[in-house]
Chains A and B, each alone.
Chain A
């Protein structure tokens, strides 16, 4: 029977240790508090000597030695590496005593890597590839070198398209060279459109009507796949209605989300989330990837996808049954301004080979290399003439080039944008509206407030 009761209290020694052990513990608490107080006092005193910081600024300008460069590693990296190797070999041939060390870093890790490089100049490369929405943040962090004069003296740069040029410019100064642009347009299913006797939409209103019609006739399909977290799919709607997220005012930016025209754009985008097209329960959370995947898996009749999505479409089940047109604007015959994504090359402030790094940047972002990169990887060139030539070689990029030529836009080039992006201000606003949690006016006002706070910092 004894076995049914809880085990007897531990015999003598164990019990004693337990008690003995308890004594110092209770006594320790006040001591710990005292220690904490001391620590706080010490902190107040030590506030002057903050944790270590990096030494800013370059270290001379050597013209021999090893030049380090970081490029993004693509899933299928070999063709990119081949183009880069060719350009680098040509570069090194003319410059004896110069070695170029190219490293490919996973895109996922770029934030840590680049910040680490700013913080530890010894690990830092001389030249980096970076996403063009990061420009302002990197400049604020003091990482990128001002190359305004070098770019001004560079003949090829005058053919760079204006949106790409804006993406390397902060407060009038140039911090790099655009490497390629990425832009989105409207993918649609040719088979579905033919069966239902539809034509590619010519205005945004017609787009919405077409989307609803498809969903009515083919309930298994979303008319237009949309996503509550698909900021770059939503922005063209805002811009096409004459609105935008923010505008420059004086030295800073101020949010224009509460502007009537912007609200019209927001309304047009959020109206697409509904049981008549793309129900919020499945579409509110989607980002760009999920939207494009939904189209590629045959679950949507239309989607806003990038030129970079082309390869994924070709490998999917909709291959041969889709076409691409520019996303139409509000009025017939116009194209909705698209978001100009893409990557740039920039020289680091800490580089000890500034002149060489600028020269290498010009080689890699030059017309020849960009044309090669397009042929190898399908990355759209940033030079209008090189891009036109590319469109002649590869017809599938034509709608994207047309979109770019109609004038693409970027997000505000200000460090505050990084905070807006990180806090997911726009996705939260769209999601609040489409899930019915807040009215459009309230959500837009809330987002504008958060945005202005971020811009002020």
Chain B
């Protein structure tokens, strides 16, 4: 699995054309599953977002009525929705950047150490990765609990008496910061392991040559490593954007459903509170559609930017 150059030559060729249907045959199972269980429900979601659709319509036998863009106008007229939208975008961006920074830094660190510390860090990271989101959020909250948590006791034992019984979730930014820590904790392992794998795949001779030329570590990173890692970085960036934008569990659990007076709401949690808890399915669907469109715009915009720079997705 170390073929680097040969793979370039293995572009799909026009040589084998007998049976143009072969790829479709291979694709059939995937397309049927995705079409039936993802695209079709998605179509229904879009449909619901244009209707008046509450529990009364679902099981109460009341007729549904077409609302046009009514649900969407209601959303965008809601000042809180706009504020939550902004918070979500900023928070997701911060999560993505922090995750990428930590993951990449630790991946580089992994290449600089011997087997034992590497194994220790790898196992710890895999453990964080394996933990269910509900549990991870609960444990982090527990660690930072003003009464029962070890963090405040440790800080005040170090002489920082201001941290005695300090609440980390009261202030808006501090609460977002705490959630960000948890998000980074559970999502950096993917970045770290992937980037580490990519680093290992860079032929040692290339780096050696650069080092012999007297290039500094930073120049080697900028000039050699980063460009070769680019496809990997694209993958982890796109994945992080997708995952972090849809954050639900961490906010829901750690800020107790949106924080003091709703200061820590993100779009997904807002959708849940606004719609599902009171079964206004159409509003929830509309928020889902808006989220999808934003993600789509961000990701496709990013890929297009890369493409303009000569990358291939």
Contacts and interface: CB of A to CB of B under 8 A. Distances in A.
Interface of A: 1, 3-7, 9-11, 13-14, 17-18, 21-22, 39, 43-44, 46-48, 50-51, 53-54, 56-57, 111, 115, 118-119, 137, 140-143, 228-229, 279-282, 284-285, 287, 293-294, 297, 299, 418-419, 421-424, 427-428, 431-432, 435, 437
B17 to A, nearest CB: 16
Interface string B253-275: 00111111110000000000110
B60 A47 contact: no
A431 B260 contact: yes
Contacts of B171: 281
A423 B58 contact: no
In order of increasing CB-CB distance, the 7 nearest A-B pairs are A422-B277, A47-B66, A142-B60, A50-B64, A419-B278, A118-B59, A141-B55
Interface in B1-48: 8-9, 11-12, 43-44, 46-48
Interface residues of B, number: 59
Contact of A141 (B60, B206, B215, B312): B60
Given A7-B228, A13-B11, A14-B312, A282 B165 contact: yes
B118 interface: no
Nearest to B68: A44
A5 B46 CA distance: 48
B209 interface: yes
Contacts of A437: 261
Interface stretch (B104-112, B183-191, B219-227): B219-227
A14 B8 contact: yes
Interface string B44-65: 1011101101011111110011
B261 A435 contact: yes
Contacts of B165: 279, 282
A281 B166 contact: yes
A309 to B, nearest CB: 16
Contacts of A1: 213
A118 to B, nearest CB: 4
B47 A51 contact: yes
Contact of B312 (A17, A279, A285, A299): A17
Interface in B39-98: 43-44, 46-48, 50-51, 53, 55-61, 64-66
A39 B46 contact: yes
Given A3-B224, A13-B8, A228-B260, 6 more contacts: A4-B219, A4-B224, A47-B65, A422-B278, A424-B258, A432-B261
Contact of B279 (A6, A141, A431): A141
Contact of B60 (A140, A282, A422): A140
A11 B8 CA distance: 9
Contacts of A423: 273-274, 278
Nearest to A423: B273
A297 B170 contact: no
B146 interface: yes
Contacts of B219: 4
A47 B220 CA distance: 60
A297 B47 contact: no
A118 B147 contact: no
A424 B228 CA distance: 50
B135 interface: no
B254 to A, nearest CB: 11
A51 B273 CA distance: 22
A437 B215 CA distance: 55
Nearest to B43: A39
Given A10-B8, A118-B58, A111 B277 contact: yes
Contacts of B215: 4
Contact of B278 (A7, A18, A287, A418): A418
Nearest to A118: B59
Contact of A3 (B9, B169, B209): B209
Contacts of B159: none
B210 interface: yes
A111 B272 CA distance: 12
A371 B59 CA distance: 36
A119 B59 contact: yes
Contacts of B274: 422-423
A51 B256 contact: no
Contacts of B258: 424
A292 to B, nearest CB: 12
10 contacts: A3-B213, A3-B224, A7-B227, A18-B312, A50-B53, A54-B59, A422-B273, A427-B261, A435-B260, A435-B261
B11 A22 contact: no
A223 to B, nearest CB: 14
A312 to B, nearest CB: 14
A431 B261 contact: yes
A51 B48 contact: yes
B23 to A, nearest CB: 15
Contacts of A111: 277
B148 interface: yes
Nearest to A36: B46
Given A11-B8, A142-B61, A228-B260, A118 B55 contact: yes
B61 A284 contact: no
Contacts of B148: 293, 297
A47 B51 contact: yes
B59 A141 contact: yes
B261 A119 contact: no
Interface in B182-216: 206, 209-210, 213, 215
B167 interface: yes
Contacts of A39: 43, 46
A18 B8 contact: no
A50 B11 CA distance: 46
Nearest to A430: B261
A43 B310 contact: no
Contacts of B60: 56, 140-142
Contacts of A54: 58-59
Contact of B46 (A43, A137, A140, A435): A43
B58 A119 contact: yes
Nearest to A433: B261
A299 B149 CA distance: 13
A280 B8 contact: no
Contact of B167 (A281, A294, A419): A281
A47 B50 contact: yes
Contacts of A140: 55-56, 60
B61 A53 contact: yes
A142 B61 CA distance: 8
